[in-house]
Structure 1
Amino acid sequence: MERHKITVITPFHDAHGQTIEATLKSLHWADEILVIDDESSARYRPVLEKYTSSIFTRKLDTFSKQWTYAMDRAKHEWIFFVASDEVVSPELAVEIQRALESPVEDGFVIRRRDFMFGKWIKHGGFSHKHMRLFRADKGYWSNDAVHETVLLPEGSTTRTLDNVVYHFSYVEMSATVEKYTKYAKLEAGQIIEERGYAKQTRVSLTEMCKVTLQMFYYGMKESLGLIVFKGGFLDGTYGLYMCMEKGFYYFLVHAQVFSYLYKRRHAAEITSILEEHGVPPELYLNKIEQPEED
């Protein structure tokens, strides 16, 4: 039976240079592979071109905008998102092709199995399942700078597939911190925009205290929740580390917001000190990254 055609969209940047070929190899069965390239180094171009001619370069601003940009250029009626540090299992590839022979669903949820720091992580809420495969005319991305999700119209039907995508991430601890720092800037920028901080002429002490409390509360809440309620401790030392680092991420998000507000509140004092010592004020008073307007 002839199946519906599918476009697999894969985002790529330099950090995933060592896994991208394994990712693309696992997608050989797709009707189209579309790579959205976040201005990666030229040395990876031959690898991308070996597997597809559908390569679009666009600098990342927010993830939802990046994925929407890619979807607008997809040729086929079904979309499947696969990250460039993920490998589609052969079993999942077969299951997807069978599911698209006569689908009654509008989308399919895909399970992910995480390999982090050299071991499989089973607990702590890290082996997620997400809507990854969906009809192009139905699915759209939530307007989130980070942790974006695919949404379907009310009344849409979905099903969770049995097989998995393998996720090979967090190779080095330093790379994890770098990744979280990048994501935290984007999410903090969205908070600043949503709360209207950039438009406020004066930052109150009350607001500063509020953000300070959020900085510690959300970080501790996330870490303890993953360790205790999601069983993160069952994965041993690395499991505890991942849970603590996820809490650090939420601490970092609100720390970025706090830093932005502090600099706004004390801009005159900071400018005076820097000018006195011949240092450009914009070194410290630069704006945090915020989602750009369409």
Structure 2
Amino acid sequence: MSARSSRRTTLSVMMIVRDEGDRIEASLQSVVGWASEIIVLDSGSTDGTIDIVSRYTDKLWVTDWPGYGPQRNRALNHCSGDWVLSIDADEVVTPELRDEIDRVLDESGCDFTVLKMPWKTFLFGRPLKHGRYTSPQAKLFRREGARYRDHQVHESLMMPRRKERVLNAPLEHYSWRNYQHVQEKHLKYGCLLAAQKFANGRRGSLAYAALRFGIDFLQQYLVRGGFLDGSRGFLMAVILGQYAFHKYAALWALEAENTMSSRKP
């Protein structure tokens, strides 16, 4: 259990979850007793997640699933702290990160509205040190006026005034349970993004999908230094290339399906 913080400001931790019973406890243990409150919205877990969460907080709501952006906004509406830390069930706040957050939030004249923290993302037991999954994440922000875009996936944080600071201590990120999970997760997100693009009038082609596979692979593996992570870096570059392919192939498929439907008598 986390040591209780002497921080002068109040801090809400919020989480949106579903069927995370195998890993949510480590995340909750990393913030209980340190956060001023823990807000959890569950969208229909059937694996014991709700029972686990109930041991750590009474601020738990079971809801439907409107998409990532709307669900985060629902959780945000329940938060009362001066600051909000939005984490997922696969993320763990280390003691070093807690201490750094406490120090920064108590600095006199602190006028930052967003605190970003590096991701320490683990792939098959070892952390990736290069590439997309090490980029600092805007997880901690002043609550007043903050909202998320109502996107189904990859929802971005909107602030009335945005001034960022990047922390040094990383947030541990255990995103994938196994190889099947990493593939399923990227395919799911790719299809959600395709639907979002299609609804906004975007169209795709298989040629562009194939081109994006190559571009995104090279971006991750060479430009962002993924090759320095050895076999894991190569695998991650392939996965991100596949992710880009999924997005635009799914977009092409939606257009094809729509054309077929319109031709039916």
Gaps of 5+ in 1: 197-206, 273-294
Equivalences for residues 166-181 of structure 1 within 5 A? 166-181=172-187
Shift >3 Å, 4+ stretches: none
The letter for the 1-side match of 2:158 is: L
The one-letter code sitting in structure 2 at the alignment partner of 1:3 is: R
TM-score, normalised to structure 2, is: 0.90
- Compared CA separation, residues 160 and 21, structure 1 to 2 (3 A): same
Aligned to 1:83: 88
Question: Any idea what SS the aligned residue of 2:131 has?
Answer: coil
State how 1:14-29 maps to structure 2 within 5 Å.
Answer: 14=19, 16-28=20-32, 29=34
- The alignment yields a C-alpha RMSD, in angstroms, of 2.0
Contact 1:124 1:233 in 2 (8 A): no
The counterpart of 1:139, out of the listed 118, 132, 146, is 146
Contact 1:139 1:151 in 2 (8 A): yes
Deviation of 1:261 after TM superposition, in Å, equals 1.4
Map of 1:161 onto structure 2: 167
Aligned residue type for 2:85: F
Match of 1:71 in 2: 76
Q: Which amino acid in 2 is paired with 1:241?
A: L
**Pairing partner for 1:31 from 28, 36, 39:** 36
Match for 2:210: what amino acid? F
**Equivalent AA in structure 1 for residue 57 of structure 2:** T
**Alignment match of 1:95 (pick from 93, 100, 109):** 100
The CA distance in 2 between the partners of 1:248 and 1:266, in whole Å, is 26
Match of 1:256 in 2: 250
Alpha-carbon distance in 2 for matches of 1:246, 1:42: 29
| Paired amino acid for 1:182 | K
1:7 aligns with 2:12: yes
Residue 222 of structure 1 corresponds to: 216
Deviations 1:117-155 (A, max 9, x none): 11111112221211111111132223433222223234x
Change (3 A) 1:184 1:60: farther
Please state how far the C-alpha of 1:80 moved relative to its aligned partner. Answer: 0.6
Name the structure 1 match of 2:54. 49
Structure 2: gaps spanning 5 or more residues: 1-5
- Secondary structure at 1:34 match in 2: strand
The residue type equivalent to 2:112 in the other structure is E
Provide the rounded CA distance (Å) in 1 between the counterparts of 2:241 and 2:85.
30
Distance 2:231 2:115 in 1: 34
2:205 partner amino acid:
V
Deviation readout 1:253-276 (Å, 9 max, x if unpaired): 11111112112223377x69xxxx
Indicate conservation of the 8 Å contact 1:184/1:249, yes or no.
yes
Identity of aligned residues (%): 27
Counterparts of 1:39 and 1:119, CA distance in 2: 31
Q: CA deviation at 1:225?
A: 0.9
Q: Which residue does the alignment assign to 1:183?
A: 189
TM-score (norm. length: structure 1): 0.81
User: SS of the residue aligned with 1:80?
Assistant: strand
